[in-house]
């Protein structure tokens, strides 16, 4: 019997970007099949997706690397996870799919590979469409040896689940197998409501979790958890790889408390931080006036309602300014990403034309492009975007789009550098696979993978002692990360907490804008 792996691709990878999220990163940018960075807005894809999608980290900056999903659930930011992504439900049976063809009588089966007919009449036999039979035999032999000889009985399902997770383990930091609870938790990231402490995290191979960023006004932020912290224990028990299964140890009933063991750069011993869980309802957009005529908008994550909330917030600030703003600061610091379509919507609100972002993968279905439509909410008023090392995935999409078009100046520190798209592939049992399927590119055609967005004006963090206020972090430092086109020589950025960077951005906003031709492709 022969089976060609290309028969599985139409089932697993209908990867178009989508308008309505079903599951969220590590925007991710993360798509689902069901897409999350990485929500629908006026922006129109230049190319229609292969099938309807449901939404980065990204939420794995780490998430950022999309980041992993919030509060330790496997998945996503980025400063994500994530994305940190996009989702498009995969059809149960792709058109034209056929049962594996039996070997004709008298024909010698291929001992070297399991292969077979493709549903694509133009398909060409290649090594990439063949599964080596010898490797299958090796796996089955090991499976049987473990089942028969391990010191304690091992459930077949447990062994198979471990094997499936192993398929993804060494691909990159943002591809992961999500059991049902983790997949549900991943979906919660797009709506902004769940029970936990309010952090975007990246799951590390040893079971510990790295904080991509604490979410504004959540228990984690109030308790002093910082971007770059590594949570090594919960309630005195060291975290292990098995703790990553399901919703994770940071989730739990509202009102319950937990003591986190936190390793922080510059601290000789792990910190013990008590955090009380709450139902986290994240308002991803907040705004205020900095000075008469000058507005400020903070975007903490890209969720389903972020695009609409941004438009509403800007309209209110404009009314407060007497009908017209003289300038706007957009704060994306420690924003790990989220839904790509939400970032596209915000960019479209500030651009009249041109490409916003494009994605490129190994198959045509992953090659998409979003273009701006006419209409600028600020009517050309200057914009400054504030970023730091915790800005990842969808945050980098927005910053890159505005910068390449000459629409905004970038102030802060080099961003995280998560330039990949994750697609969520739902399985029939409620589990899902979060798979990296594409890289995304700014309007000028530049990939920020493992490089990040470089600011026009660089800010340095200042602690009470004049030292850096947080650990330096970057996608390029993650083991197994995708190689970037420009990562060589790229140094990590800094986390920039506090009010000082906002005032620096305001000062830059007031400066006359130097004429600059947009680098973006039309």
- 226 contacts 200 by C-beta, under 8 angstroms: no
- Taking the CA atoms of residue 378, residue 383, residue 389 and residue 394 in that order, the dihedral angle to the nearest 10 degrees is 30
> Three-class SS of residue 479?
coil
234 vs 211: CA distance, rounded Å:
14
What is the predicted pLDDT for the residue at 128? Answer: 57
From edge to edge, which strands make up the β-sheet containing 383-387?
Answer: 285-291, 294-299, 327-331, 383-387, 408-412, 457-458
Beta strand 230-234 with 209-214 is antiparallel
Active-site hit among 81, 331, 415, 418: 418
% of the chain beyond a pLDDT of 70: 70
CA atoms within 13 A on the CB side of 466: 0
113 or 161: whose pLDDT is higher? 161
Q: Compute the half-sphere exposure of residue 10: CA atoms within 13 Å on the CB side of its CA.
A: 13
For the ranges 74-83, 294-303, 334-343, 454-463, which has the lowest average pLDDT?
74-83
Name the H helices within 29-96: none
C-alpha dihedral, 311 to 185 to 393 to 456, nearest 10°: 60
DSSP 8-state class, residue 512: P
pTM for this predicted structure: 0.66
Measure the CA–CA gap between 99 and 429, rounded to whole angstroms. Answer: 22
Lowest mean pLDDT among 60-64, 326-330, 467-471: 60-64
Q: Is 208 noted as a catalytic residue in this protein?
A: no
- pLDDT category at 192 given cuts 50, 70, 90 is low
CA dist 1 and 324 (Å) reads: 70
Confidence at residue 396, expressed as pLDDT on a 0 to 100 scale:
97
- pLDDT given at position 403: 98
**Per mean pLDDT, which of 27-36, 126-135, 278-287, 429-438 is the most reliable?**
429-438
**What is the separation of C-alpha 291 from the centre of its chain, rounded to a whole number of angstroms?**
34
Could you write out the three-class secondary structure of 396-427? Answer: HHHHHHHHHCCCEEEEECCCCCCCEEEEEEEC
Residue 181 has what pLDDT?
Answer: 78
The overall average pLDDT reported for the chain is 77
Asked whether the predicted pLDDT for residue 334 surpasses 80, the reply is: yes
Q: What whole-number distance in Å separates Cα of residue 18 and Cα of residue 341?
A: 7
Predicted confidence (pLDDT) at residue 17 exceeds the cutoff of 80: no
Gap between the Cα atoms of 120 and 131, Å rounded? 18
**Nearest CA to 229 among 469, 51, 442?**
469
Query: pLDDT for 250-267, tens place per residue?
Result: 988 999 999 999 999 889
* 56 classed as catalytic: no
Q: Which residues sit opposite 276 in a β-bridge? A: 257
Q: Which of 393, 413, 415, 420 is catalytic?
A: 393
Instruction: Calculate mean pLDDT across residues 220-235.
Output: 94
394 phi and psi, to 5 degrees? -60, -30
Q: Using alpha carbons, select from 306, 389, 287, 316 the residue that is nearest to residue 347.
A: 306
Beta strands 237-238 and 257-263: pairing type?
A: unpaired
Per-residue pLDDT at 186 exceeds 80: no
Among 404, 420, 434, 494, the one annotated catalytic = 404
Residue 486, pLDDT score: 85
Residue 45 reports pLDDT greater than 50: no
- Measured at the CA of 519, the angle between CA 517 and CA 521, to 5 degrees, comes to 125
Helices (H), 321-383: 340-350
Do residues 197 and 219 touch, judged by C-beta distance below 8 A? yes
418 is catalytic: yes
CA distance 75 to 201: 9
Decide the pairing of beta strands 285-291 and 278-281.
unpaired
């Amino acid at each position: 019997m022969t089976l060609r792996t290309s028969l599985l691709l139409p089932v697993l990878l209908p990867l178009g970007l989508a308008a309505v999220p079903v599951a969220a990163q590590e925007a991710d940018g993360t798509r689902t099949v069901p897409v999350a960075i990485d929500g629908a807005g006026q922006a129109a894809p230049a190319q229609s997706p292969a099938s309807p999608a449901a939404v980065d980290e990204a939420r794995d900056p780490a998430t950022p690397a999309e980041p992993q999903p919030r509060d330790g659930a496997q998945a996503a930011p980025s400063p994500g996870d994530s994305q940190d992504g996009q989702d498009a439900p995969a059809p149960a049976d792709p058109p034209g799919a056929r049962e594996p063809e039996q070997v004709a009588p008298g024909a010698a089966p291929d001992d070297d590979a399991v292969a077979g007919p493709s549903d694509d009449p133009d398909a060409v036999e290649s090594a990439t469409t063949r599964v080596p039979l010898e490797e299958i035999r090796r796996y089955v032999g090991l499976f049987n040896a473990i089942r028969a000889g391990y010191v304690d009985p091992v459930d077949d399902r447990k062994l198979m689940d471990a094997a499936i997770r192993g398929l993804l383990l060494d691909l990159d930091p943002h591809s992961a197998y999500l059991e049902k609870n983790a997949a549900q938790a991943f979906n919660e990231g797009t709506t902004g409501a769940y029970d936990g402490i309010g952090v975007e995290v990246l799951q590390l191979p040893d079971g510990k979790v790295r904080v991509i960023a604490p979410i504004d006004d959540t228990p984690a932020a109030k308790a002093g958890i910082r971007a770059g912290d590594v949570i090594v224990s919960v309630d005195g028990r060291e975290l292990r790889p098995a703790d990553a299964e399901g919703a994770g140890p940071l989730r739990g009933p509202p009102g319950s408390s937990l003591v986190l063991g936190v390793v922080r750069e510059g601290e000789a011993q792990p910190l013990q931080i008590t955090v009380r869980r709450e139902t986290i309802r994240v308002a991803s957009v907040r705004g205020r006036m900095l000075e008469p005529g000058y507005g400020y908008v903070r975007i903490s994550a890209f969720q389903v309602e972020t695009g609409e909330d941004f438009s509403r917030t800007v309209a209110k600030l404009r009314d407060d300014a007497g009908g017209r703003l003289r300038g706007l600061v957009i704060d994306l610091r420690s924003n790990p990403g989220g839904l790509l379509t939400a970032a596209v919507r915000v960019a479209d609100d500030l651009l009249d034309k041109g490409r916003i972002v494009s994605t490129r993968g190994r198959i045509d279905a992953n090659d998409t492009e979003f273009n701006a439509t006419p209409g600028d909410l600020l009517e050309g008023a200057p914009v400054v975007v504030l970023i730091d090392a915790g800005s990842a995935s969808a945050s980098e999409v927005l910053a890159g789009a505005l910068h390449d078009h000459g629409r905004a100046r970038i102030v802060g520190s080099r961003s995280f550098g998560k330039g990949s798209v994750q697609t969520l592939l739902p399985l029939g049992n409620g589990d899902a696979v979060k798979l990296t399927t594409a890289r995304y590119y700014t309007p000028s055609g530049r990939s920020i993978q493992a490089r990040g967005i470089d600011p026009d004006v660089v800010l340095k963090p200042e602690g009470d002692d004049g030292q850096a206020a947080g650990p330096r972090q970057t996608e390029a430092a993650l083991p197994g990360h995708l190689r970037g086109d420009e990562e060589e020589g790229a140094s990590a950025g800094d986390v920039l907490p506090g009010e000082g960077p906002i005032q620096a951005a305001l000062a830059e906003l007031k400066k006359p804008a130097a004429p600059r031709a947009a680098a973006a492709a039309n």
